[in-house]
Amino acid sequence: MKQAVFFASLWFALQSSGKPADPLKPLEGNWIAIQWEVDGEQAGLAKREIRLIVEGDRFALKADGKRTDHGSFVLNDKKKPRVIDIRHLGEEFKNEISLGIYELKKEELWLCLARAGEKERPIDFSCKKGSEHVLMIFVSATDYKSNRKLSARSRNWVERSCEIRKTVEIRWLKSI
């Protein structure tokens, strides 16, 4: 009898210590967009800084410091590709849901979303013309500013985007 109680206690302890990792944790933080495509076309990141702030299951999207959207999301990291359902609370898509997929690739957060209200989820990270998908690639704001842990590809995008922003700012200053 004592052996049965011991093994039951041991089994219970092992089960409770093996809690699954929280899939939200790696997404939390402040992210900066390094690539943004809409319906197969590059969006104009050169003139804007797009930030994604994630806290728990909530997000805020900011363009040049102004909040453009916010809301909540639900993840399913058991499916491949991993899925995300985003409920928008911003004015443009109030209470609409965007179905999408996500992936953490090294230091990058990849999101591919269907247009808000669409019933079909993207099946891969392509953003072809006519798909009405949005492909967003973010890097951690800390890594973006320090340029330290970024892969060569991410570092190239960051440097290119910074150079374009400087050129736009210089042209704007000269026009004043």
pLDDT tens track of the chain, all 176 residues? 444 444 444 344 444 445 556 778 888 999 998 888 888 888 766 567 889 999 999 999 998 888 889 999 999 988 999 999 999 998 888 889 999 999 998 788 999 999 888 889 999 998 888 888 999 999 888 776 665 555 555 555 555 554 544 444 444 444 43
Q: Are 57 and 66 in contact (CB under 8 A)?
A: no
H-helix segments, the chain: 2-17, 141-146, 152-175
- For residue 125, the 8-state DSSP code is S
Angle among Cα 162, 163, 164 to the nearest 5 degrees reads: 90
168-171 long-range contacts (CB < 8 A, ≥24 apart) are 168/46, 168/47
- How far is it, in rounded angstroms, from Cα 61 to Cα 50? 7
**What confidence score (pLDDT) does residue 164 get?**
45
Delineate the domains of the chain, giving CATH numbers in brackets.
31-175 (2.40.128)
Pick from 111, 108, 80: nearest CA to 98: 111
Compute the distance between CA of residue 30 and CA of residue 53 in angstroms, rounded to an integer: 5
Instruction: Enter the pTM of the model.
Output: 0.70
In this structure, the strands spanning 29-38 and 50-55 are: antiparallel
